[in-house]
């Protein structure tokens, strides 16, 4: 392994969003060790990064001594968000899923080579006790930090996915912003942000070659249309945005992500007016309302074309893993800012 490269310790690695973000930033960084406890996510990660030392472990088993032997320069991590989510119990630091993060804070003062940290989490983390503990640990270790709440829409990507981010670096303060504020935009001094080349509408992110058989797999059922057609977030190929896709997408209809009008030759409002008038679900069928495919969601989240799921990964699991993942373009842009 090239010793001159920036060495990344990737924690809570999921399906590899942080790894892809580091690759996209193209700043001479390499993931030298990756850890996650989720077996399904690990299978996808190893399928796409077979050369990376990826281990299925509880992060609490990582000692300072073991980490120091790896000589990482950067920690990139996306700790469990369930203790802070809007729909969760909000147990915060009392949630057992915070124990591995708290362990990291105990280990942090003893890490000899770590000079940078990039962390992602759900909106809500910024008001948590866990965040207070994190900030205290960073300050005690002479890190400067900046916080953000950002969406891919800020990079002209047609998907809403607000997430909390924290950048920290040792001994050298940032030239923008303040530790007293959470930024809602990228720093104006950032002129090399990583963004999609596909365009600002949904169409370039969509599967172009869906067969009729494949399309049938994603069409909304009559049951879903009948019960939820009035609250579905329906987007067209020409739309400039889409709602955040969650891990419950396709399992629950409300608030888990947008659906697509596959047949753009029909006018949605006319067909919906006909349905309202006649009450016949058949009026909506010509629209071919369907779920976004996992590949389309991966495209919107910045995963490259070569990203793929193992054939053994079920459709439900693919949606769940993507819903727990992050936007590669946003993280890659922040990664470059961190190293400036």
- The pairing of beta strand 29-36 with beta strand 6-11: parallel
Instruction: Say which residues have a Cβ less than 8 Å from residue 48's Cβ, sequence separation at least 6.
Output: 15, 16, 306, 307, 308
Task: Give the distance from CA 238 to its chain's centroid.
Answer: 24
Q: Is the dihedral of CA 263, 231, 235, 18 positive or negative?
A: negative
DSSP 54-112: EEE--GGG--HHHHHHH--SEEEE----GGG-TTS---GGGSGGGHHHHHHHHHGGG-S
Cβ contact 309:294 at 8 Å: yes
Cβ contact 296:205 at 8 Å: yes
- Find the radius of gyration of the CA atoms of the chain: 21
Measured CA to CA, the distance from residue 119 to residue 113 in angstroms comes to 17
Measured CA to CA, the distance from residue 234 to residue 289 in angstroms comes to 8
Q: Which residues pair with 9 in a beta bridge?
A: 33, 75
Strand ranges for 163-283 from DSSP E:
163-170, 182-183, 234-235, 259-261
Catalytic residue among 81, 98, 194, 229: 81
Residue 171: how many CB atoms within 10 A of its CB?
Answer: 8
Whole-number Cα distances in Å, 287 to 219, 225, 262, 264: 10, 12, 7, 7
Active site residue 243: no
Q: Is the dihedral of CA 251, 283, 217, 246 positive or negative?
A: negative
Measured CA to CA, the distance from residue 114 to residue 103 in angstroms comes to 16
Active site residues: 81
């Amino acid at each position: 392994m090239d010793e001159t490269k920036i060495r990344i310790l990737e924690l809570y690695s999921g399906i590899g969003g942080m790894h892809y973000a580091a690759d996209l930033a193209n700043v001479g960084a390499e993931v030298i060790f990756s850890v996650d406890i989720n077996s399904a996510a690990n299978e996808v990660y190893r399928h796409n990064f077979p050369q990376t030392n990826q281990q299925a472990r509880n992060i609490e088993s990582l000692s300072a001594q073991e980490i120091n032997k790896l000589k990482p320069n950067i920690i990139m991590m996306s700790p469990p968000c369930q203790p802070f989510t809007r729909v969760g119990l909000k147990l915060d630091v009392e949630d057992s899923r915070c124990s591995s993060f708290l362990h990291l804070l105990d280990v942090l003062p003893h890490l000899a080579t770590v000079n940078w940290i990039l962390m992602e989490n759900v909106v809500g983390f910024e008001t948590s006790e866990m965040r207070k503990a994190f900030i205290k640990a960073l300050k005690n270790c002479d890190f400067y930090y900046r916080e953000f709440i950002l969406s891919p829409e800020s990079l002209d990507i047609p998907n809403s996915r607000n997430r909390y981010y924290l950048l920290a670096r040792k001994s050298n303060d940032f030239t923008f912003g303040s530790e007293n504020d959470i930024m809602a935009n990228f720093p104006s001094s950032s002129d090399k942000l990583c963004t999609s080349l596909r365009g600002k509408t949904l169409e370039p992110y969509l599967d172009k070659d869906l067969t009729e058989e494949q399309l049938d797999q994603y069409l909304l059922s009559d049951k879903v249309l009948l019960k939820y057609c009035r609250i579905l977030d329906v987007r067209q190929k020409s739309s400039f945005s889409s709602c955040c896709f969650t891990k419950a997408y396709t399992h629950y209809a409300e608030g888990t992500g947008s659906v697509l009008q596959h047949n753009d030759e029909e006018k949605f409002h006319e067909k919906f007016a006909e349905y309202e008038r006649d009450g016949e679900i058949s009026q909506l069928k010509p629209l071919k309302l369907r779920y976004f495919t996992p590949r389309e969601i991966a495209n919107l989240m910045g995963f490259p074309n070569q990203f793929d799921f193992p054939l053994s990964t079920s459709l439900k699991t693919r949606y769940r893993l993507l819903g727990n993942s992050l936007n590669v373009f946003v993280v890659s842009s922040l990664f470059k800012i961190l190293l400036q």
